Structures are given as C-alpha cells and as structure tokens.
Amino acid sequence: MSEPEILGESLPFDEKIELPGWPGQSADIGSYKAFLEESVRNYESRWADIAKELPWFRTWDSVLTRERHPHVYTWFGGGLLNLSHLALDRHAASSRRDKVALIWEGEPTDESGAPKEVRKLTYGELLRDVNRFAHVLKHRFGLKKGDKMAVYMPLVPEAIVTLLAAARLGVTFTVVFSGFSSESLSSRMSDLGATVLITADGFYRRGKAVLLKGITDKALEQAPSVKHTIVVKRLGVDCPMTQGRDHFLEDLLQGVPELAEVQPEAVESDHPLYVLYTSGTTGKPKGIIHDTGGYAVLLHATMKWAFDLRDGDIYWCPADIGWVTGHSYVAFGPLIEGGTIIIYEGALDFPHPDRWWAIIERYGVSLFYTTPTATRAQMKFGDDNVKKHDLSSLRLIQSVGEPINPSAWRWLFELIGGKRCPVGSTWWMTETGGIMISNLPGLKLTPMKPGANGLPIPGVRADVVDEAGTSVAPGKKGFLVLQNPWPGMPGPPTGMYGDPDRFESQYFSRFPGTDYFFCGDYAIKDRDGYIWVAGRADEVLKVAGHRLGTYEIESAIVSHVSASEAAVVAVPDAVKGEVPIAFVVLKQGHEPSEELRLEVKKWVRDGFSPIAEPSKVFFVSKLPKTRSGKIMRRLLRAVAEGKPMGDVATLEDETSIEEARRAYEDLKVE
Ligand code: WTA
C-alpha cells in the first residue's frame, strides 16, 4: 500500500494544535484515552447511561440482545419511544415552544442579494405541521406502523415535516436523493415496497427550476407498489397529475383541522425508522435499516459531544436529506436536542460564490457542519469572498463525507473559524448511523491535528488492521474496523433490507474468526492513537463526498446502445476528492468519437445522476481482467494517472505479473 497521504499532502502525524480559549473542557491525550478505554470495556452500561437522558415511553429490559442473524442486534429491547416525540412534543411542551426550530432559505435572491423567501418555524409550529401531515397520512391514506413510504424531495421545510410525520406514525421511510434518476427512484421504492411517495413539483438550483414530477411519473411506471403520491408545491408550476393517484399536499391539508393531533406511536426500540439505500462493493445499492432507539441514543450523544449544541446555538449542516448526513445531522439529531436548524435549498455558489458565508452571517450560525469538497471549492473562490462577511458567530466547525486534506483543514481553522473554533473531521458512514470517530469539543477537546479524524467516540472500539485482521503498527496503512456493536448500527430484522446474507458477507466476513465490522476504508493510526481515514479501499467512490458505486455507473453506461462493457474507477481530483473515469468497450459497428464520448457522459447524467458523470471516457478494445473475470481496477487507475504499474499486479489476485504488465502496456498504447 502506498505512502499515507490525502490528495497528495502528507499527513502531519505529530502536529498538535490546542485551543486554550475553548470554554468547554480540554483534555490531554493520555487521560482521555484512559477514559475511553473504560467506556469501551463497559460499553453497554455507558450507552445505557446515555439512553437514560432521553424520555422513553417505556424503559428497556436489556441493553443489548444478540439473538438475531449473527450480527444484527437489538439495542434497548423492550423499550418504547417515538422519534417525533423526542424531536418535537417534548420541546413544544417546554419553554422551547416558541423557539425557532427551523429556518428555511430558498435559492432565489433579489437585486440586493437578499433571499426572496425565508420561512421560520417554531417548535410549536413545526409540531402543528407534523401533526397535520401525519393526520393526512393516517386518515386519508391509512398509513400505520410498519407501512412503508418513499420520499423524493428537495430541501424545503415539508421534507423535514415529512420525515417527522412518518416517524410519528411508525411508518418506515426511504429517502431517495432528488438528484437521482427515475430508475434509481423506482428500484428503491420497489425494493422497499413503498405504498405512498411524497415528492414536490420541483425546486431551484443555480437559478433554474428543476422539475421533479415528470421524473416521479416515469419512476411510478416501474414501481407498482406505490398507490398514491403527495406533491408539495414548491415552484407552483403546472405539472401532470394522475387522477386518483396524485394529490397536492395543500389540497389534502384543506380537510384537516388546524389543531389536528395525532398521538406519536410508541414503537419498540428496534422498530425500523428508515431504510437508506447506499452503494456497496458490488451489485445494486442495498437498503441499510436503522432502528429507532439505538439510533436516537447515538444521535443524542454525538450531537452533545461532537457539536456541543446548546440553546442559543444556530446550527447549520448544508447536507441534503437524500444522504445519511441529512437524516442524522440535519433532521433528527439537532431537533432531538431542541436546536435551531437551517436548511438552504440551493447551490453554494449561487448567485455569488459567497452565498454560504452570507447565510452564516445572516442568521448568526454558530455550529457549522461542512465538507472537504465545499471547503476546497471555496478556497478556489478566494479569501475575499469570505472576508467581506462577519463570521464571528461561529464557535465550532466539523467536516464530514471524505478525508480532509491538511491545507483545507487549516483554511477552515484559520480563516473561517478565526483560530477560535475547534475544527474536526467526523468519520462515519451510512451504516454506522452517526459519528464514530471524531474530536469531541462538547465532551473533552483533545489536541487537534490537521486532517485527522481523531479517537473513536466513547463506547466505540475501532482499529486499523492488516489483511489478517491484526492491528498494524502506528503510521502504517491498513483497514478500518469497528470491533464492538454500537447503537445506531444497521438494525433488525436483517441489517440490510431483505438481504441478511449480503449484510453478513459484506461487513462481517472479511476477517474470519472475528466480529469485526469491515468499513471498507483505508486508515492509519498514529502514535497517539488518532485515526486518519485515507479513502475507500473498495469499489465505492466518494465524489464530492457523495457515495456512489462503480457498478451503478457501469450499469448506466452499458445501457447505452453502443456500449458492450464498461469499467469505472476513481481518480483523485483537487476539489471533489475523487471523480469517476470510465473505460468503455464498444459494440461491433460503433466507432469511438468525441461525439459518442459526450453522449456517454450525458447518458450517465440523465440515466443515473449528474454527480456520477465520468470526467473522462476512454474507449478501449478490451478490459484487463483477472482469470476469474474480475476487472483489474488498480491497473486501470495507474494507466489513467500515468503512473508506473508498480506493485499493482501483485495486488490483483490470481493474475500473473506478466499478464498484468501486458494488459497495462496494451492499454497505455490505446
Ligand atoms: C467517507 C457519510 C474521511 C469514508 C457520512 C466512509 C470520511 C464513507 C469521513 C461513508 C471523514 C465519511 N474522513 N472519510 N470525516 N466521513 N468518510 O455512507 O470513506 O455516504 O466510508 O456516509 O465516507 O459515506 P456515506
């Protein structure tokens, strides 16, 4: 494995940045590690202590039950709770009733640069809207606990209302990113067996109206389980409505009493809150199931620890609800804590590159959860963009989604946080439900290192191991594993929706004889025990922090008439972290051309998603494969990057060096 680096920058393992002005507690690494070790030894009781801080309808009988499929556990079995009750009712019944829960800003601006539309909802108002929406779902469509629904929505307040209303009824939902195509939407809805789809007529992106209803109509042709759609009017444009199937939300709400109340359903702790489809190593995306109780406990703990959220804070995470970050740290986490969240509809650089900084200034954002890609994009726009805004309200910054290169970390720390804010890089994934490895300024702030994720959170045992599952020496690259169950992990009944075998083989078969959860990431542990995640070690791509599978892009390509075979690999990109490139073998009768290259790119954009468009398309006569038919991806990457073949061949099982070398040379010539 090559030298540890992130985007070509070497990692400052020994640098330690302290923040004497941080009003929370600080800790030296040694004593903090002793504290962590105790929490890991007694992880069940430590998690139970945290669970006790939340209001349950009924307390659990046992903290952790290991009786399902080999690695599917029940956390807080016997406990009853409801997430919308946690996120709304308890706040609306307290002094937080008139506190602003949600601030929404639409993308369009007037000549002065001010947003044309801003909506604010207090906890009392959000609860009212959620009750009314839940009333529609329950009384008009008969949805009840255990039913399934799908959500395909832009970032509008109704999206948050939708998730909370589903949680209120115990209806398991799946959100599909509004940048995915109709095929992605229909396959997810069908896999889950959703009966109702909540969507919108469209939204604004970079000044253009993006229409959604046409896409959902196409998706519905392939998703017979869906009997009804509810359409939120965001744009107010004409859209095709199928009688009896499609309903505008505003029409449905007309029949609902202003003060309608729908009691939050007391669901079992292991009741599936949602299923989120995410890209794995092979095949189609699979649905990761998240429970209710364990998930709530993890979110509560990490909101306190990683974000130090308090009354008075304005919290902003610009993630889309289509990704797990939007579920955990836009919608549920901060609202469980009674925070004020911001959601913004549009692009970060529209109409001017300073839009994000204007938002931070406008609302006095104090807690900011950003991404490395956004940071690098902003660095390119230049510091003046930032300097014309007053960012003094900020007091804490976290990053997520991909490794952060040290210079991007420094830019956040120095320029955005003015050297007063802790800056961290929270490592986690769709499967973990919430943050697993991070600095925790709300608990104890340990010295920061530019680019590091840090130590695992209390109760979580993580390590970096070699192929055999043995802990590697400090500074050496290996595979990241989680060694104990954690609350928020993929939940009952099967971890992966409808596919317990794949759940077991994808995550738990890599290190036989252990119970290690294989994360799929390369990582390095330094001498202080800090973990530095360095990128994916499998066929998953992180493009601008978005998780995509090579298989999904390849399938989109080969659905084009001209393509017989395709291989997609990721190459480093200075802004997006990595981008996909495609090698395509054409069918007989089709010739490589610039036109065809552009057409293939467009095909992926329209057929799968704009974020998946290959940055380069190479036409080749054949793909290098191992004898068992596996594509030699590392070799493709080496060719694309113009790198020497190096030890590539030895990394591809079953392939002789000679064969690999020949394939490499042939490809280079082409
Ligand atoms: C990557 C996103 C380095 C990692 C929450 C992981 C990170 C994948 C970080 C999961 C980070 C996420 N530093 N890498 N702070 N956060 N990753 O499921 O490769 O969309 O496996 O969840 O993102 O992506 P997912």
In DSSP notation, 456-495 reads: BPTT--EEEE-TTSPBPPTT-EEEEEE-S--TTSS-TTTS
C-alpha closest to that of 86 among 356, 296, 310:
296
Please state whether the peptide bond connecting residue 4 to the residue before it is cis, i.e. omega within 30 degrees of 0.
Answer: no
Q: C-alpha distances in angstroms, 448 versus 16, 34, 442, 475?
A: 6, 18, 14, 17
Q: What is the pLDDT of residues 19-78, one digit of tens each?
A: 998 988 889 999 999 999 999 999 999 999 999 999 999 999 999 998 778 999 999 999
pLDDT of 111: 93
Q: What is the pLDDT of residues 133-177, one digit of tens each?
A: 999 999 999 999 999 999 999 999 999 999 999 999 999 999 999
Q: What is the pLDDT of residues 260-304, one digit of tens each?
A: 999 999 999 999 999 999 988 777 889 999 999 999 999 999 999
Q: Are 197 and 216 in contact (CB under 8 A)?
A: yes
Both tokens assigned to 123: 């906890």
Q: Is 480's pLDDT higher than 80?
A: yes
Q: Which residue has the tokens 């300073």?
A: 354
Q: Is 655's pLDDT higher than 70?
A: no
pLDDT of 650: 45
Q: Is 438's pLDDT higher than 50?
A: yes
Q: Is the CB of 320 under 6 A from ligand 1?
A: no
Burial of 325 (C-beta count, 10 Å sphere; 0-12/13-18/19+):
buried
Q: Is 669's pLDDT higher than 60?
A: yes
For residue 144, the one-letter residue type is K
pLDDT of 336: 98
Q: Is 649's pLDDT higher than 60?
A: no
Q: What is the mean pLDDT of the chain?
A: 94
Q: Choose the residue to mutate in 302, 328, 428 for probing ligand 1, maximizing ligand atoms within 8 Å of C-beta.
A: 428
Q: Is the CB of 436 under 6 A from ligand 1?
A: no
The HSE-up count of residue 391 (CA atoms within 13 Å, CB side) is 28
Q: Which residue has the tokens 């989604």?
A: 401
Question: Rounded to an integer, what distance in angstroms lies between the CA atom of residue 74 and that of residue 63?
Answer: 8
Q: How much of the chain exceeds pLDDT 70, in percent?
A: 97
Q: Which residues contact 311 (CB under 8 A, 6 or more apart)?
A: 96, 99, 338
- Mean pLDDT value of segment 546-563: 95
Enumerate the β-bridge partners of residue 549: 540
pLDDT of 661: 66
Q: Choose the residue to mutate in 427, 436, 506 for probing ligand 1, maximizing ligand atoms within 8 Å of C-beta.
A: 427
User: In this structure, which residue's CA is closest to atom 22 in ligand 1?
Assistant: 429
Q: Is the CB of 546 under 6 A from ligand 1?
A: no
Q: C-alpha distances in angstroms, 533 versus 14, 487, 579?
A: 16, 22, 18
Ligand 1 centroid – CA 427 distance (Å):
6
Q: Which residues contact 437 (CB under 8 A, 6 or more apart)?
A: 426, 427, 428, 453, 454, 455, 456, 457, 460, 462, 531, 533
The HSE-up count of residue 665 (CA atoms within 13 Å, CB side) is 6
Q: Is 560's pLDDT higher than 80?
A: yes
Overall pTM > 0.85: yes
C-alpha closest to that of 515 among 492, 484, 470, 469:
484
- Mean pLDDT value of segment 342-359: 96
* Cβ neighbours, 10 Å, residue 601: 18
Ligand 1 centroid – CA 373 distance (Å):
12
Range list of H helices, 344-396: 355-363, 372-381, 384-387
C-alpha closest to that of 8 among 464, 449, 573, 478:
573
Q: Are 453 and 437 in contact (CB under 8 A)?
A: yes
pLDDT of 656: 55
Q: What is the pLDDT of residues 353-400, one digit of tens each?
A: 999 999 999 999 999 999 999 999 999 999 999 999 999 999 999 999
Q: Is 651's pLDDT higher than 50?
A: no
Q: Which residue has the tokens 């084009």?
A: 560
Q: Are 12 and 526 in contact (CB under 8 A)?
A: no
**Run of H or E including 370:** strand 367-370
**β-pairing, 462-465 with 477-482?**
antiparallel
Considering Cα of 173, then 177, then 182, then 188, what sign does the dihedral take? negative
Ligand 1 centroid – CA 334 distance (Å):
20
Q: What is the pLDDT of residues 443-473, one digit of tens each?
A: 999 999 999 999 999 999 999 999 999 999 9
pLDDT of 636: 86
Q: Is the CB of 306 under 6 A from ligand 1?
A: no
C-alpha closest to that of 324 among 161, 488, 477, 487:
488
Considering Cα of 291, then 297, then 298, then 302, what sign does the dihedral take? positive
Ligand 1 centroid – CA 616 distance (Å):
24
Q: Is the CB of 542 under 6 A from ligand 1?
A: yes
Q: What is the pLDDT of residues 196-251, one digit of tens each?
A: 999 999 999 999 999 999 999 999 999 999 999 999 999 999 999 999 999 999 99
Q: C-alpha distances in angstroms, 628 versus 200, 482, 637, 649?
A: 46, 30, 20, 15
Ligand 1 centroid – CA 460 distance (Å):
17
Enumerate the β-bridge partners of residue 522: 479, 535
Please identify, by atom number, the ligand 1 atom nearest to the C-alpha of residue 425: 15
C-alpha closest to that of 456 among 432, 485, 479, 427:
427
Q: Choose the residue to mutate in 9, 321, 524, 533 for probing ligand 1, maximizing ligand atoms within 8 Å of C-beta.
A: 533
Q: How much of the chain exceeds pLDDT 90, in percent?
A: 89
Q: Is 654's pLDDT higher than 50?
A: no
Distance of CA 214 to the CA centre of its chain: 26
Question: Rounded to an integer, what distance in angstroms lies between the CA atom of residue 369 and that of residue 383?
Answer: 19
User: In this structure, which residue's CA is closest to atom 4 in ligand 1?
Assistant: 402
